[in-house]
Amino acid sequence: MQGLGNDFVVFDARVDPLELSPDQVRRIADRRLGVGCDQLIVLESSEAADVKMRIFNADGGEVGACGNASRCIAMLLGGSPRIETSGGMLAGEATAGGATVNLGPLRFGSEDIPLAYAMDTAAMPVGWEELDEPFAVNVGNPHLVFFVADTDAVDLARLGPLIEHDPLFPERINVNIATIEHGAVRLRTWERGAGLTPACGTGACATAVAAIARRLLPSPVEVRQAGGSVTIDWAPGGSVRMTGPAAEVFTGEIDL
């Protein structure tokens, strides 16, 4: 499946349990040696929701949230499913050609990102070359947001991994570079464990929240990425909702 070009291999393990090693995840995600994907998704049965979604990055590590994958699973299940993740409980609603997902409440504390030491997460007093004073928020996974004059002018392929692995972030970090233009946000994201991708759903949510919190744009916010656009609704103190497309690309079998 894919959402804005962010692509996923989805295993349905609700009946037959499936355990994948990090090496198996890396192999399946490899675009030359396996199927190829940004993230691998395993659906399991849940006592608290309609389904439990486990999310693995292409490097084999398991993470708590993925916005684009959440829309894909909501569309795949249909109706208004509740989706359990290690990052929190999600509420989805399938739409024509996509889905709306309520990602729940956000976390802004230094301990929630987490950071190695406490600081103001709304305008962090840190910087990396031309990128400084980022906004930090946990949307089920941790994000930094930098607002710049031209997102395309930033060498994100070089700075992304430098920031991701900075000791300030003991669990690493997702890095978003955003530009406000024509009443919307243009965004590029370096994803923790996946690198540069055409789109990042939780990155779009984090960036829209940062733009609203800093009073750069009102809600709802359109976030434009290389793979397409999503719309983010959020009010301070409330849950964040993301609406956008999703699609099933193909089904198949693989010998694990």
The reply to whether omega before 220 is within 30° of 0 (cis) is yes
3-state SS, residue 137: strand
Clarify whether 37 is annotated catalytic.
Answer: no
Query: What is the enclosing helix (H) or strand (E) of 224?
Result: strand 221-225
Catalytic site residue from 37, 72, 200, 205: 200
Q: What does the alpha-carbon distance between residue 139 and residue 141 come to, in Å, rounded to a whole number?
A: 5
For residue 38, give Cα distances in angstroms to 2, 75, 206.
Answer: 10, 19, 19
Find all residues with CB under 8 Å of 173, minimum gap 6, and list them. 113, 136, 142, 143, 144, 163, 164, 166, 192
Check if 205 is active-site.
Answer: no
Q: How many CB atoms lie within 10 A of CB 249?
A: 11
Q: Six-digit token pair at 132?
A: 């400084």
State the catalytic residue, choosing from 37, 66, 72, 205. 66
Q: Among all residues, which ones are annotated catalytic?
A: 66, 200
